[in-house]
């Protein structure tokens, strides 16, 4: 895999044009620039091998050494272009502070201390506004080193600000360590699925060890981190009823008491997404869409650097909400556009999320052939998907594939998929472990495969009502309800989507 080509493939059409013009402005102006030729070759849909690229760039005599030097030059252009674009898109970025620092150091070196100190004060102000504590430490160290200048601030005052910043920087570092520790343990537990639910003890232990229990109330960055940790635990426990009011209260308290500065846009977006997602899982769809609209406004008022992460999330969750507002056609349109328009730029996780979501929406519309086509288009093994998304995502995909084959009139293929799901659950978990309810569900589907009329009999309805996972319905997971709705639709001999809407309302 060519990493340079992969990076360039993430560019939008406008970015590609801008970078091409940027290359032309570097160095001497000439018609046949090899760096520009290499760039154009790497943009082509066909992926050339190294040998093919060398032969195209140096047709007279293959020159591998010159080719690799050319790649380094193109990579330097790319780095400079991205740094420049980052500063243009986000004037409060750390690169601006580093720019002031570099200029100040140069001015000190050439003997212009008054202007150098002006640059240091600008660097301090910008870094302080954006909570860039590590850079602030560098600023204060340079100020202390140049404190003998007649243009300097009082040394005692500099040291006081430096010590105050050190506390905030240390808190940030401790939060980073705690965040990584807990996320690592959550990832390990997520692969095991619902078997690993003892997260409260992990959470409290790490927060206590790093003295972070109260820190989240003062700073959006720490609030976001700790809400992320709490949300991860809630996702496994399915305790959205507790999490939704908690994160909403924390968000609005922060908004009211301290507000969200431009430097806090990323954290504000993350918190708004958590609120919207929790409300969706509680089936409060109108409220979820309202918070997604707030997210959209904040997203478009901030730097484009946030788009790659939050634009797909916004789209996927909006499409999911629309499906339960009887706007499933709009859901399909949203996801088709994002898959076509962002092919190659979506992260692997986002690609998987988009395709599984689109498959669900087609299924709800009764377009089973399109559902099958979308699921086949995932094109990854279950093992690979499990490492990316966790066992429950793979389980949802496989259940969807099974029901799709059954609806398409392929009971043999559906039965094979059913047996494969059973085998995996029994091999990974003793008697199904936390997924025993899935085995009970599969037993009912097996009856329908063997005898489609079985679903209409009273004794079948009794066994469906005894499924423990789906009781009480008003508190169960929205994904579980989707599969339960399929059984209900078979029992009632009604369209699946209508039954799903009734259960979700």
Which pLDDT tens digit goes with each residue over 126-169?
Answer: 888 878 888 899 999 999 999 999 999 999 999 999 999 998 88
More confident residue, 330 or 197: 330
Residue 190 neighbours by CB distance under 10 Å? 20
Residue (of 220, 218, 219, 240) closest to 231 by Cα position: 240
Average model confidence (pLDDT) for the chain? 84
Specify the pLDDT at position 473. 44
For residue 190, the model assigns a pLDDT of 56
The angle that helices 155-191 and 220-237 make with each other, rounded to 10 degrees, is 10
Pair (382, 490) in one structural domain: yes
Q: Do 74 and 98 lie in a common domain?
A: no
Of 116, 122, 79, 118, which is closest to residue 97 (Cα–Cα)? 122
On whether residue 258 sits in a domain, the answer given is yes
Are 99 and 76 in the same domain?
A: no
Query: What pLDDT, on the 0 to 100 scale, is given for residue 167?
Result: 87
pLDDT given for residue 405 in this prediction: 95
Q: Distance of CA 271 to CAs 129, 178, 180, 302, 359, Å?
A: 20, 19, 19, 15, 28
232 in a domain, yes or no? no
pLDDT at 209: 75
Instruction: Tell me whether residue 358 is in a domain.
Output: no
pLDDT the model gives residue 290: 97
Q: What's the CA gap between 414 and 398, in Å, rounded?
A: 10
Residue 347 lies in a domain: no
Residue 199 scores a pLDDT above 60: no
Asked if residue 415 and residue 295 are part of one domain, the reply reads no
Q: What pLDDT shows up at residue 132?
A: 85
The pair of structure tokens assigned to 144 is 């202390």
Closest to 83 (Cα-Cα) out of 62, 98, 70: 98
Are 383 and 459 within one domain?
yes
Cα gap 192→181, rounded to integer Å: 18
Which pLDDT score is estimated for 258?
77
Per the domain annotation, does 357 fall within a domain? Answer: no
Give kind and range of the element (H or E) at residue 324. Answer: none
Given this model, what pLDDT does residue 4 score? Answer: 83
Name 117's Cβ contacts closer than 8 Å, sequence gap at least 6.
104, 146, 149, 151, 152, 153
Q: What is the pLDDT of residues 348-393, one digit of tens each?
A: 888 889 999 999 999 999 999 999 999 998 888 888 888 888 888 8
pLDDT at 214 over 70: no
- Reported as a pLDDT band with limits 50, 70 and 90, residue 470 is low
How many other CB atoms sit within 10 Å of the CB of residue 234? Answer: 22
Report the distance separating Cα 424 and Cα 442, nearest Å. 13
Q: Judge contact between 361 and 368, C-beta under 8 A.
A: no
Q: Which of 325, 358, 387 is the endpoint of a domain? A: 325
pLDDT tens, position by position, 278-311? 999 888 999 999 999 999 999 998 777 788 889 9
The size of the chain, in residues, is: 505
By the 8 A CB rule, do 27 and 18 touch? no
Mark whether 425 and 472 lie in a shared domain.
yes
Name the domain boundary from 71, 89, 107: 89
Answer for the pair 328, 370: CB distance below 8 angstroms, yes or no. no
Residues 393 and 490 in one domain: yes
Statement to judge: residues 149 and 265 lie in one domain: no
Q: Are residues 457 and 483 in the same domain?
A: yes
The answer as to whether 134 is a domain residue is yes
**Would you say residue 354 lies in a domain?**
no
**Residue 474: what pLDDT?**
44
Domain range holding 65? 3-89
Of 153, 173, 203, the position where a domain reaches its end is 153
Number of other CB atoms surrounding residue 178 within 10 Å: 23
Residue 497 and residue 384 in one domain? yes
Q: What is the pLDDT of residues 57-99, one digit of tens each?
A: 888 888 888 889 999 999 989 888 887 877 666 655 677 888 8
Calculate the alpha carbon distances from 75 to 18, 22, 23, 29, 71 in Å. Answer: 15, 13, 11, 19, 6
N-terminal to C-terminal alpha carbon distance within the chain = 48
Is 498 found in the same domain as 387?
yes
Separation of alpha carbons 326 and 311, rounded Å: 23
C-beta of residue 182 within 8 angstroms of C-beta of residue 232? yes
| Number of domains into which the chain is organized | 4
Same domain, 478 and 401: yes
pLDDT of 196 strictly over 60:
no
Q: Return the biggest CA–CA distance within the chain.
A: 93
168 in any annotated domain: no
């Amino acid at each position: 895999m060519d990493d340079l080509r992969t990076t360039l493939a993430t560019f939008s059409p406008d970015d590609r044009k801008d970078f091409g013009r940027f290359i032309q402005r570097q160095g001497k102006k000439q018609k046949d620039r090899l760096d520009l030729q290499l760039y154009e070759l790497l943009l082509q849909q066909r992926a050339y091998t190294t040998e093919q690229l060398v032969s195209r760039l140096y047709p007279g005599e293959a020159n591998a050494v010159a080719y690799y030097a050319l790649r380094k030059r193109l990579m330097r252009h790319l780095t400079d272009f991205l740094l420049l674009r980052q500063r243009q898109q986000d004037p409060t970025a750390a690169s601006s502070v580093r720019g002031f620092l570099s200029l100040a150091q140069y001015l000190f070196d050439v003997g212009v201390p008054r202007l150098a100190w002006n640059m240091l004060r600008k660097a301090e102000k910008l870094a302080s506004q954006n909570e860039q504590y590590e850079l602030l430490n560098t600023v204060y160290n340079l100020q202390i080193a140049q404190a003998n200048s007649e243009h300097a601030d009082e040394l005692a005052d500099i040291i006081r600000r430096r010590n105050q910043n050190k506390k905030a920087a240390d808190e940030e570092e401790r939060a980073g360590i705690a965040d990584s520790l807990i996320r690592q343990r959550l990832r390990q537990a997520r692969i095991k699925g619902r078997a690993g639910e003892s997260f409260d003890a992990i959470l409290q232990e790490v927060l206590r060890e790093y003295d972070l229990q109260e820190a989240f109330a003062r700073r959006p960055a720490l609030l976001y981190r700790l809400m992320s940790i709490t949300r991860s635990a809630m996702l496994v426990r399915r305790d959205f009823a507790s999490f939704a009011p908690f994160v909403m209260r924390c968000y609005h308290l922060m908004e009211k008491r301290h507000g969200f500065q431009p430097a806090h846009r990323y954290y504000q977006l993350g918190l708004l997404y958590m609120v919207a997602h929790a409300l969706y899982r509680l089936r409060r769809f109108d409220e979820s869409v309202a918070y997604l609209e707030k997210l959209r406004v904040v997203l478009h008022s901030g730097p484009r650097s946030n788009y790659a992460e939050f634009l797909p999330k916004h789209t996927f969750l909006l499409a999911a909400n629309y499906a339960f507002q009887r706007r499933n056609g709009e859901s399909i349109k949203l996801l088709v556009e994002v898959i076509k328009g962002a092919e190659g730029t979506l992260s692997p996780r986002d690609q998987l999320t988009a395709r599984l979501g689109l498959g669900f929406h087609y299924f709800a519309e009764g377009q089973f052939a399109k559902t099958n086509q979308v699921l086949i288009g995932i094109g990854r093994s279950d093992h690979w998907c499990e490492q990316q998304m966790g066992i429950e995502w793979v389980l949802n995909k496989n259940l969807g594939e099974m029901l799709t084959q059954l609806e398409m009139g392929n009971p043999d293929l559906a039965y094979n998929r059913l047996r494969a799901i059973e085998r995996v659950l029994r091999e990974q978990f003793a008697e199904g472990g936390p997924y025993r309810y899935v085995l009970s569900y599969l037993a009912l589907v097996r009856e329908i495969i063997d005898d489609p009329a079985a679903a209409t009999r009273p004794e079948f309805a009794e066994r469906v009502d005894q499924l423990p996972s789906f009781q009480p319905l008003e508190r169960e997971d929205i994904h579980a309800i989707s599969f339960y709705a399929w059984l209900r639709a078979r029992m009632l001999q009604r369209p699946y989507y209508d039954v799903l809407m009734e259960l979700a309302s």
